[in-house]
A and B are shown apart, each in its own frame.
Chain A
Amino acid sequence: MIQINNLSKSFGTLSVLENISTEIKKGEVISIIGPSGCGKSTFMRCINLMEKPTTGEITIDGQNILAQKADVCRLRQKMGMVFQSFNLFSHLMVIENIMLAPLSLLKLPRQQAYEEGLRFLEMVGLGAKAMAFPDELSGGQKQRAAIARTLAMKPEIVLLDEPTSALDPTMVSEVLAVIRKLVASGMTMMIVTHEMKFARDVSSRVFYMDDKGIYEDGTPAQIFDAPQKPKTRAFIKKISSFAYDVQGKSFDLYELQARVEGFLTKQMFTEGRIMNAQLVCEELLSGILLRTFPDAYIALTVEYSDASGEVTVQADFTGEVYDLKSAACGEMSLAIIEKYAKDISSTHREGKNTLQVVL
């Protein structure tokens, strides 16, 4: 459906994308992930010519969009785009926003544009807001309206550029639900996103972008569970874990608990499971280690494995050989940890203790 050959994009002397070649087939749902500023949005915006590539070829259904005689408008109509900042016209009602392009570009009769627009609004759960103005809607509602606007043009492919990044966390799931519905309908899609769990659930393919191109390309299982190349591995490790340094017993427990909650919420953990993880962290640190070594510097890492659904809490600190299970003080804490842990291990290497609790 879309063939990309040797695509490069520079802004002046700054080269952002170099020599990208790939193919996007009908029905594919491709998530584009990667560090900020690596050109993910630029790449997607080249596809519908919102950015003009410096060199290269983009062919849509056999037609080169960059050729002189290309009917860019026509080719663009096949591609819908959903933006991070929604981009609804604030002077038009929601239904008028939806109808605008079908009326002016598809030349649909007014009544038909209205009826279809209303149907798309209902599909995204906003039937009751047709006559409202965008300013009256919440962020999540605006984005869902924007998706309806995109669908009203009946595109062949929908490009979503960080559709939930500007949203309050409480509204992210309503928008993801609508996107899931779209995926289920068989729409071809490309989504630049930071919602990793979501990307893993809905995509048929994942592009990890780095080093000015598509650094690694694979199925969600390949990219998230078994990344092959070094930068992909570092990225996946980074998003699937976080580190927290604890200096002595008066460390900020609430800051740590908040980090744990934030991290595990992104992994779609239930409130109960999150509390168990927080309890294990508190018992491990305040209950046991810092009672034994009040001034210790402990490097805590909390890692999540998508493949096993397990959370591993690891505490690293220097000192003599220490076995968690024979902790002198803290039997209550140990009992609590043992209740919630699948596995507890203590290892010692070159003067450093590593304790691991797997939940």
Chain B
Amino acid sequence: MIINKHQTAAKLVLALEGRLDTTTSPKLEAEILLIGGDVQQLELDFHQLDYLSSAGLRVILAAEKKMASPRGMIVTGVNETIMEVFDITGFSDILVIEGEGQ
């Protein structure tokens, strides 16, 4: 999985390419840990993400907790399958998801 980082002012975008699963989720976890106090907004861009498992969900939850108010987090580019996983696990109620399904 490739993570493309892009930061403008206080907003950080992490664009994921490939799969977020047991093997690759530590990579995202490491990126989340690196997020400093200067970042007020986090966007997880899932346009190029094909696959998400519960291992990925745990890291996303940790990110959500880190970016709790007054900071913020948004997930974008979620495809149908990944939206399904968010719905079944109740994550669609916890996360701010832009675009389809919300």
Does B81 count as interface, using CB distance less than 8 angstroms?
A: yes
A275 touching B22, Cβ below 8 Å: no
Residues of B within 8 A of A278 (CB): 51
In the complex, which range does the number of interface residues on chain B fall in?
Answer: 10 to 19
Question: Which residue of A has the minimal Cβ distance to B23?
Answer: A253
Does A272 count as interface, using CB distance less than 8 angstroms?
A: yes
B22, B58, B81 interface centre (most CB from chain A within 10 Å): B22
Residues of B within 8 A of A93 (CB): none
B53 touching A279, Cβ below 8 Å: yes
Taking the nearest CB of chain B, how far is it from the CB of A125, in angstroms? 32
Given that A283-B54, A286-B55, A287-B53 are contacting pairs, would A335 and B23 also be in contact in the complex, using a CB cutoff of 8 Å?
A: no
Contact of B54 among A253, A254, A287, A338 (CB under 8 A): A287
Given that A272-B81, A275-B81 are contacting pairs, would A336 and B53 also be in contact in the complex, using a CB cutoff of 8 Å?
A: yes
A136–B92 Cα distance when bound, in Å, is 53
Does A325 count as interface, using CB distance less than 8 angstroms?
A: no
A339 touching B84, Cβ below 8 Å: yes
Does A127 count as interface, using CB distance less than 8 angstroms?
A: no
Residues of A within 8 A of B23 (CB): 253-254
Does A72 count as interface, using CB distance less than 8 angstroms?
A: no
B22 touching A253, Cβ below 8 Å: yes
Does B50 count as interface, using CB distance less than 8 angstroms?
A: yes
Does B7 count as interface, using CB distance less than 8 angstroms?
A: no
Residues of A within 8 A of B89 (CB): 332, 335-336
Q: Report how many residues on chain A are interfacial, defined by Cβ distance under 8 Å.
A: 17
Contact of A336 among B22, B50, B58, B88 (CB under 8 A): B88
A253 touching B21, Cβ below 8 Å: yes
A339–B86 Cα distance when bound, in Å, is 12
Residues of B within 8 A of A282 (CB): 21-22, 53, 55
Does B85 count as interface, using CB distance less than 8 angstroms?
A: yes
Given that A272-B81, A275-B51, A339-B88 are contacting pairs, would A332 and B22 also be in contact in the complex, using a CB cutoff of 8 Å?
A: no
A332–B92 Cα distance when bound, in Å, is 13
Could you list 30 examples of A-B contacts with CB < 8 Å? Answer: A253-B21, A253-B22, A253-B23, A254-B23, A275-B50, A278-B51, A279-B51, A279-B53, A282-B22, A282-B53, A283-B53, A283-B54, A286-B53, A286-B55, A287-B22, A287-B53, A287-B54, A330-B54, A332-B54, A332-B57, A332-B58, A332-B89, A336-B53, A336-B54, A336-B85, A336-B88, A336-B89, A338-B88, A339-B84, A339-B88
List 13 extra interface pairs beyond A254-B23, A283-B53, A286-B55, CB under 8 A. Answer: A253-B21, A275-B50, A275-B51, A278-B51, A282-B22, A282-B55, A286-B21, A286-B22, A287-B55, A332-B54, A332-B89, A335-B88, A338-B88
Chain B interface (Cβ within 8 Å of chain A)?
Answer: 21-23, 50-51, 53-55, 57-58, 81, 84-85, 88-89
